[in-house]
Structure 1
Amino acid sequence: MLTRPEDIRSARIGHGATAVLNVRTGRWVWLDEDSRRIWDAALAQRLPELVQEVAGTGLPVERAQQVVAGIVTELTEQGLLSQAPHPGRPRRRRFTSWRTA
């Protein structure tokens, strides 16, 4: 299941564009209308339905799957999507060990 990382903030800024900020890194990403639509579908677990919608515009289903999967990969690489931990497993905590001399 794909989720939105906690350190991601977004705002629609008009003309089909969305500004996305990773508050941890300070990095901005700009999404066009189609990328935003795919991002929203991934977060809502609706990617198969979106592929069918895209295929309904005349694009072969296989090509629609490739396009959507490619954008999901890019969004994941940009840190805008992440895999949710398995529901049966507890989340791993990250600890920093501080040592004093």
Structure 2
Amino acid sequence: MLTIPAHVHWGRCSGSVAVLNLRTGQWQMFSGVGAHIWDVIALRGSTAGLAEEIAAPADVPTTRASVGTYVTTLIELGLLTEAVGQPRKKRWWQR
């Protein structure tokens, strides 16, 4: 399961996703497929079936490896964590 750590704040703006890592003070802006991947992880906590979901409407050969590489980069940036067996906590704006 993938989760967004408490030190990461994000929001949608103009079809993109703005992400702030409070530990580093760095902003990231995701658009297009990157924003879609972020939204799916935030909603589901998983990338299961995501490569096929992206590839079908766009008619592009997106592979699980490319989605996996993107997710690995997000983990290395500290924007996602892999939580094994831990339930996802709802943030104050999701209650």
TM-score, normalised relative to structure 2: 0.71
Between the aligned partners of 1:58 and 1:12, the Cα distance in structure 2 is: 25
Between the aligned partners of 1:27 and 1:42, the Cα distance in structure 2 is: 20
Change beyond 3 A, Cα 1:59–1:20: same
**How far off is 1:6 after superposition?**
0.3
Superposed, 1:11-50 pairs within 5 Å as: 11-14=11-14, 16-43=15-42, 44-50=44-50
For these two proteins, the number of residue pairs brought into alignment is: 84
Between the aligned partners of 1:39 and 1:68, the Cα distance in structure 2 is: 11
- Answer with 1 or 2: which has the greater Rg: 1
Q: In 2, are the aligned partners of 1:10 and 1:20 still within 8 Å (CA)? A: yes
Stretches of 4+ moved more than 3 A in 1?
Answer: 57-60
Unaligned ranges ≥5, structure 2: 87-95
TM-score, normalised relative to structure 1: 0.68
Q: Which amino acid aligns with 1:30?
A: M
Computed over aligned residues only, the root mean square deviation of the Cα atoms, in angstroms, reads 2.0
Unaligned ranges ≥5, structure 1: 88-101
Between the aligned partners of 1:36 and 1:13, the Cα distance in structure 2 is: 10
Q: In 2, are the aligned partners of 1:18 and 1:33 still within 8 Å (CA)? A: no
